[in-house]
A and B are shown apart, each in its own frame.
Chain A
Amino acid sequence: KAGVTQTPRYLIKTRGQQVTLSCSPISGHRSVSWYQQTPGQGLQFLFEYFSETQRNKGNFPGRFSGRQFSNSRSEMNVSTLELGDSALYLCASSLLGRGETQYFGPGTRLLVL
């Protein structure tokens, strides 16, 4: 089985722009979670989607949003980028999102200039 894939792997944007990141879960997995990792804050939970619905949300501003499609693929969007949004964005998938093992993708490294 193919693992979790994320595109793009690297991205450079400037302040004020917006960005969309994509995540394809493991085949058959219906829950997708997003995390942000920075050197100062570590790995922090952004949100989780299941059956095209956001089921859990972390403590991030409304500039961070996401969605999930009927094939379980997910996108996250960050609007009005700030320098502090520079980070590694990770997505993880699990079968039903009810305590099963989560498997992570390689991440998208975003640099905001």
Chain B
Amino acid sequence: DAKTTQPPSMDCAEGRAANLPCNHSTISGNEYVYWYRQIHSQGPQYIIHGLKNNETNEMASLIITEDRKSSTLILPHATLRDTAVYYCIVPSNFGNEKLTFGTGTRLTIIP
């Protein structure tokens, strides 16, 4: 898996947009960027993934830079329930189903 780098922690005020960055400078041309989050002691929850273009779903938006070396996950209106550890992952595309989770970003939403 391509190595990813995320800040260890971030705070965001409730109701504001939370912008979580991720660097993946060694990403290959056909590897996707995936985001998961894990709320305390629960299983990781899939959020969104993308290849080149920006993506949006009901949970979040994903902005990938043109050179694909970094991306930003955007939670448009953060709520207290968004407090979690967020993981940016670039899985190997060689058919290996192993996901490599780094330490992620601990996002705390402040009331």
Q: Which residues of A contact B (CB under 8 A)?
A: 4, 6, 31, 33, 35, 42-43, 45, 48, 55-56, 58, 88, 90, 92, 94, 97-99, 101-107, 109
| Contact between chains at B98 and A56 (CB < 8 Å) | yes
- Which chain B residues (65-111) contact chain A, with CB distance < 8 Å? 91, 93, 95-103
> Known: A42-B103, A109-B41. Is A31-B46 also a contact (CB below 8 A)?
no
| Contact between chains at B101 and A42 (CB < 8 Å) | yes
Given the complex of chains A and B, what is the CA–CA distance between A104 and B89 in angstroms?
Answer: 15
Say whether chain B's binding surface is mostly helix, strand, loop, or mixed. Answer: loop
Q: Which residues of B contact A (CB under 8 A)?
A: 32, 34, 36, 41-46, 49, 91, 93, 95-103
> Known: A42-B101, A42-B103, A88-B41. Is A98-B46 also a contact (CB below 8 A)?
no
| Contact between chains at A101 and B101 (CB < 8 Å) | no
Given the complex of chains A and B, what is the CA–CA distance between A33 and B100 in angstroms?
Answer: 12
| B residues near A106, Cβ cutoff 8 Å | 42-43
| Contact between chains at A56 and B97 (CB < 8 Å) | yes
**Among B43, B93, B97: residue with most chain A CB under 10 A:** B97
Given the complex of chains A and B, what is the CA–CA distance between A103 and B96 in angstroms?
Answer: 15
Q: How far is the CB of B110 from chain A (nearest CB, A)?
A: 24
B30 nearest in chain A by CB position: A99
| Contact between chains at A99 and B91 (CB < 8 Å) | yes
Given the complex of chains A and B, what is the CA–CA distance between A103 and B95 in angstroms?
Answer: 16
Given the complex of chains A and B, what is the CA–CA distance between A101 and B45 in angstroms?
Answer: 11
